[in-house]
Amino acid sequence: MSEHDDIDVLASEYVLGLMSDADVADFEIRVSSDADTRRAVAGARERLLELDLTAPATPPREGLWDRIEEELDKPRPQIVNLSQRRLAAGATQSRQQRRSSFWSGFAAAAVAAILATSLACVYLKPLQPRFIIVLLDDQAKPVSLVEAFEGQKIRVIPLDGVVVPSGKTLQVWTLPNKETGPVSMGIMDEAVEITLQGPSLPAPKPDQLYEITIEPEGGSPTGKPTGPILGKGFACMPQI
Amino acid sequence: MISVAQRIVRRRELAEEIVQESFIQIWQHAATYEASRGSALSWIFTIVRNRALNVVRDGRRLDLVEDDTLDMLRDRDAVIDDAFERLDEDSRLRRCLEGLESERRKGVLLAYVGGYSHGEIAGILGVPLGTAKSWIRRALAALKECMA
C-alpha cells in the first residue's frame, strides 16, 4: 500500500468514526497542517455522502424549530459576526435592525432556510459560483439550490422530495430587473442536478430573484412563468 | 438529517435532540469552517453523524435496546440494507459497494450508516477484532480505488 493510499484509508476511517480518540486527535493535527490530508478527508466524505442522502426525510415534530430558534436567539458573538459579514457584503441595515427584524420577521422554519443560505455562502468556496440561491417553497422549506456562475451558467441542485409532476416540466427563471420581467434560464425534465446555460443578460446582482415554476411539458408556452411556483430565492454572494 | 441521526441512535427523540444541537453548532461555527474540508452538505452531515456517534459512544444507545434484543438485531440489519438499497441504481458508490465481498461491505455500512465501532462490527460479523479492522481498511481502499 503506497503512502498516498494510506492517507485515504486513514481519512476514510476518520470519516467513518472508527478511530480511537487518541488517533482522532493526532489525525486532526495532521488535517489542520496538511492540505493533502484535508483533501483526503473531503474526498472520503464526498464518496460516502450519498449514503446520508438515502436517509428518508423525517418531518420534525412540532417544536423542534422553535427550540432551535430559541437557542439561536440567545445573544452570541458569532451571530454578530455573521451580521457584520452581511453588512460588509453591502447590506445597509444597522446590526441592531438586522437582528431584531431577523428574529421577529421570520417563521421558525425560515430560520433553518436562512441558516442554509448562510452556510451555502460561506462553504461552497471550491465551486466558486458568483452567487448562491436557496429556493424555498411557500412553506419556507428549501427545495433547490442554485449556483450562478460567470456567463449566465447556473447549476441547479434539487433537494430531497422535489419531483417533476407527470406531464410537466420544471422551468428556472430569474428576474434581472422589473422592466425585463422574468427570463427563462432553462428547463428540467427530471429533478436531478443540472447545469443550464441562460440567455445573454446583465451579470446577476445580489438579491436578484430566481425561481422554479411547474410548467406544461417542454416549458412555458408563453415565455413567461405560467404555472405554480415550486420555490424561489434571492441571490446571495459567497464569501470567497 | 433526523433520519441520519436516527439510524445511529435509533430513538427518535434523541435524533431530534442531535439535530437541534447540530443546527446550533453549525450556526455558531459557520465563521470558522474551512471549505477545503469538503462541501457544505457533507459538512452538515458530518456534524450530525459525529454528534450521533458521541451519543452512542457514551453508551446511551445501550440503554435503549436492552429490553428487546432480537428486534434490535433485525432493525440493525434493516437499517443497513435499506441505506444500501436506496442508493441510486446507477450510483457509482452502489456499484463499488456491490463489488466488495458482502461481509466487508456490511462492515463499512455498519460503521458509516449505523455508527458501529471496530469492536462492535467484529462482534456482529463474528470475526476477531484485527480481522474486522483489516477487512474494513481493505474495503475502504478498494472503494477509493473504484470511485477514483
Residue B126 pLDDT exceeds 90:
yes
The beta-carbon neighbor of B42 closest among A13, A45, A125 is A45
The per-residue pLDDT for range A138-182, each reduced to its tens digit, is 888 889 989 888 778 898 989 888 889 999 999 999 998 888 889
Residues 89 through 128 of chain B touching chain A, CB cutoff 8 Å:
91, 93, 108-109, 111-113, 115, 117-118
In CATH, which of 3.40.50.300, 1.10.1740.10, 3.40.605.10, 1.20.1050.10 is domain B1-58? 1.10.1740.10
Distance CA B130, CA B137 (A): 11
Sorted by where each starts, the structural domains of chain A and their CATH numbers stand as: 3-53 (no CATH), 129-234 (2.60.40)
Contact A82 B24 (CB under 8 A): no
Distance from CA of B66 to the nearest CA of A (A): 24
Residue B29 pLDDT exceeds 90:
no
CB-based contact (8 Å) between B18 and chain A? no
Q: Do the domains spanning B1-58 and B68-148 agree at the CATH topology level?
A: no
pLDDT at A118: 45
Please, what is the average pLDDT of chain B? 83
CB-based contact (8 Å) between B19 and chain A? yes
pTM beyond 0.80, yes or no = no
Distance CA A82, CA B31 (A): 7
pLDDT at B19: 85
CB-based contact (8 Å) between B37 and chain A? yes
Helix axes A35-53, B129-147, angle to 10 degrees: 90
pLDDT at B144: 92
**What stretches in chain A show pLDDT beneath 50?**
1-3, 76-111, 114, 117-127, 240
**Residue of chain B whose alpha carbon sits nearest to that of A65:** B20
Contact A124 B50 (CB under 8 A): no
Name the more confident of B62 and A56: A56
Tell me how many residue pairs between chain A and chain B have CB atoms under 8 A apart. 159
Q: What are phi and psi of A173, to 5 degrees?
A: -125, 155
Distance CA B59, CA B55 (A): 7
Chain B residues within an 8 Å CB radius of A46: 38-39, 42
pLDDT at A96: 42
C-alpha angle with apex B145: B141 to B148, nearest 5 degrees?
135
Contact B24 A72 (CB under 8 A): yes
CB-based contact (8 Å) between B78 and chain A? no
Distance from CA of B70 to the nearest CA of A (A): 23
Is the reported ipTM for this assembly greater than 0.90? Answer: no
- Find all residues with CB under 8 Å of A53, minimum gap 6, and list them: A160
**Residue of chain A whose alpha carbon sits nearest to that of B145:** A5
Contact A41 B38 (CB under 8 A): yes
pLDDT at A89: 43
Q: What ranges make up the beta strands (E) of A131-228?
A: 131-136, 142-148, 153-158, 168-175, 183-188, 194-197, 209-216
The beta-carbon neighbor of A49 closest among B19, B42, B140 is B42
Distance from CA of A80 to the nearest CA of B (A): 10
Domain map (residue ranges) of chain B: 1-58, 68-148
**DSSP assigned state of A180:** T
pLDDT at A239: 61
pLDDT at A113: 55
Mutate to test the interface with B, among A3, A46, A52, A121 (most CBs of B within 10 A): A52
**Residue of chain A whose alpha carbon sits nearest to that of B137:** A9
Contact B147 A47 (CB under 8 A): yes
In CATH, which of 1.10.1060.10, 1.10.10.10, 1.10.1740.10, 1.10.3210.10 is domain B68-148? 1.10.10.10
Helix/strand/coil for A188: strand
Chain B residues within an 8 Å CB radius of A41: 37-38
Mutate to test the interface with B, among A8, A14, A15, A18 (most CBs of B within 10 A): A18
Mutate to test the interface with A, among B17, B29, B33, B37 (most CBs of A within 10 A): B37
Q: Are A99 and A79 in contact (CB under 8 A)?
A: yes
Q: Count CB-CB contacts under 10 A for residue A29.
A: 11
**Residue of chain B whose alpha carbon sits nearest to that of A70:** B24
Residue B112: all three cell numbers together: 458509516
Helices (H), A20-63: 21-33, 35-53
Burial of B108 (0-12, 13-18, 19+ CB in 10 A): buried
Question: pLDDT band at B12, cuts 50/70/90?
Answer: confident
pLDDT at B18: 87
Residue B66 pLDDT exceeds 60:
no
**Residue of chain A whose alpha carbon sits nearest to that of B52:** A17
